Structure 1
Amino acid sequence: MDLELSGKRAAVTGASKGIGRAIALALAREGCELVLLARDAAALARVAEEIAGAGGRPAQTIPADLSRHEELERAAGGIGALDILVNNAGAIPAGNLLEVGNDAWRAAWNLKVFGTIGLSRLLYPALKASGGVIVNIIGAAGERMNPDYIAGSTGNAALMAFTRSLGIGAARDGIRVMGINPGPVSTERNETLLRARATKELGDAGRWREFQATMPFGRAATVEEIASAAAFLASPRSAYTSGTILTINGAPP
């Protein structure tokens, strides 16, 4: 299926690895011109090289710490015209209320929650001009609350509310806004979370794979499965979809 994305300009945050990298590659295969954002300049350059090596349009890279507002402003100023914004950056630590300290909680939210909100605000005029799209990669913990991932569950729930609220108002400006709530995905971050859980529940971080055996279909999702959904939602093939959140979790909660 042609997603009719050729020639669109898309910015992807957290594009240096994992889901963000997979989304960037998926959009590049559809003919998008990419702007890649993340902290790690060298990793961004490698993704840009992958895109070029696969015959994609040359990608722009903007190394930036999106947890800092001045860096958000600098990054937004370097993007210019835009059709698609994918807010994916963010890593919130596991732990219950007493295990996640104030500094860790604030640092995580500054990137994922306030980074998503801040960049959406800064790029809103460009997206209004193009009749563009915002896709927020959030997380299923926002709908299935987990006291041992309390900062993540709370932050994800906030971003779900932001996505739905913005989707209502943005329609007046011709902008579509959607979210994706991935469940477990095969990434380095997922392994880190499972290792922490295995340490806590089983007393051995090395037994983290045992938790995957109980997942739907006996596995976590792949980054490509999340990326394919993001590309479709961002495309004109899904032009009447907005203000909604797609859960990709293998099975109903």
Structure 2
Amino acid sequence: MDMGIRGREAIVCAASKGLGRGCAEALAGEGVDLVINARTKSELEATAEEIRKTYGVNVTAVAVDVTTEEGRKQVLAACPEPDIIVNNAGGPPPGNFRDWNREDWIKALDANMLTP
């Protein structure tokens, strides 16, 4: 499918695996250049290289904690005027939501809704 976003720039947070990586690959498949972020540099760099090779787009990896002020500054310095932002900084622990406590929910809301 052509979404008409080829040549755009996107920031995708928590992109070394899981949902963030899936979003990054979907955007790369549409021809979007990426700034991807995660905390673990080795995993992030490996993901960036795989996306570059598979999709032929530019990928910049920024290994920082995006939930911190400094982390956000570094991500935005790599892509100061993004066309697309996928704010994905983790969530409650995997499993049944009935098992999550209030602290789990507050942490997820803070990371994904208040941090930006």
Deviation of 1:17 after TM superposition, in Å, equals 0.6
RCO higher in 1 or 2 (8 Å CA, sep ≥ 6)? Answer: 2
* Structure 2 counterpart of 1:144: none
Instruction: Give the structure 1 partner of residue 96 of structure 2.
Output: none
AA partner of residue 100 (structure 2): G
2:85 equivalent to 1:95: no
How large is the RMSD of aligned CA atoms in angstroms?
A: 2.0
Question: What's the CA shift for 1:50?
Answer: 1.2
User: What letter matches 1:95 in structure 2?
Assistant: W
Task: Give, as a single letter, the amino acid of the residue that structure 2 aligns with 1:68.
Answer: T
Task: Output one character per residue of 1:4-37: Cα deviation in whole Å (capped at 9) or x when no partner.
Answer: 1210111111111111101111111111101101
How many equivalent pairs are there? 111
Question: Residues 36-69 of structure 1: CA distance to partner in whole angstroms, max 9, x if unpaired?
Answer: 0111111111111111221421200111112222
Q: TM-score, length-normalised on structure 2?
A: 0.81
Tell me how far 1:105 sits from its aligned partner.
5.8
State the shift of 1:109 in Å. Answer: 3.8
Moved over 3 A (4+): 104-110
Structure 1, gaps ≥5 residues long: 119-253
Could you tell me which residue of structure 2 aligns to residue 6 of structure 1? Answer: 6
Larger Rg: 1
Whichever residue aligns with residue 31 of structure 1, its letter is G
The equivalent of 1:239 in structure 2 is: none
Question: Where in structure 2 are there 5+ consecutive unaligned residues?
Answer: 94-98
Residue 225 (structure 1) aligns with: none
Partners of 2:74 and 2:2 in 1: how far apart? 34
Identity fraction in percent: 36
